[in-house]
Amino acid sequence: MKIFISLVIVAAFLFGLAYLSARQTEEENIPSAQASALVAEKTSFDFGTISMAKGKVSYNYKLKNSSGQEVEITKLYTSCMCTEASLLVGAKRFGPFGMPGHGFGSNIKQTLVPGEEVNIEAVFDPAAHGPAGVGTISRVITVEEKAGGQIDLTFSATVTP
């Protein structure tokens, strides 16, 4: 009986090692976001205290292609339906884009030459969540590149009625 119990313990130990090894290999194969060739003048902004009654607020993030080669922006999306984002390239506006899966497309195809600067306009509607939306909020706008890089732009606010 002792031999049987010992074999079960050894088998469980070996099974556990095999499981952990396989899991680690899977995690190593998960692609992670690469550093972006786009550099933001500011990646975060605080609107401070804003009122639902006064309507939407906006902020422009300045981005620059800091690489020595062209960068293609492929996606632009937000973390919440209360937020829209547009890509502004000179006089052209691409968007608005919003939260994926909620009526907004996020695909975009805009190439930036080395050194080119663009703006990402963030528009936040503090009344979008109704009376339950008061308090401190934080939202994210994500810009993805064809080469796999991405940059996250964040903002926060304290929403009052």
User: Which class for 124: exposed (0-12), middle (13-18), buried (19 or more C-beta within 10 A)?
Assistant: buried
- Nearest by Cα to 125 from 81, 95, 155, 87: 81
Q: Does the predicted model carry a pTM greater than 0.85?
A: no
Question: Which CATH number applies to 38-160?
Answer: 2.60.40.10
- Is the model's pLDDT at 31 over the cut of 80? no
pLDDT digits (tens, 9 = 90+) for 99-144: 988 766 678 899 999 999 999 999 999 999 999 999 999 999 999 9
The residues spanned by each domain of the chain are 1-30, 38-160
Q: How many CB atoms lie within 10 A of CB 143?
A: 25
Residue 80 three-state SS: coil
User: Whole-angstrom Cα distance, residue 26 to residue 39?
Assistant: 31
Strands (E), the chain: 38-40, 44-51, 57-65, 71-78, 83-89, 92-97, 107-112, 117-124, 135-145, 150-160
pLDDT at residue 101 in the model: 80
Asked if 59 and 156 touch (Cβ cutoff 8 Å), the reply is: no
Name the amino acid, one letter, at 64.
Answer: K
β partners of residue 85:
97, 122
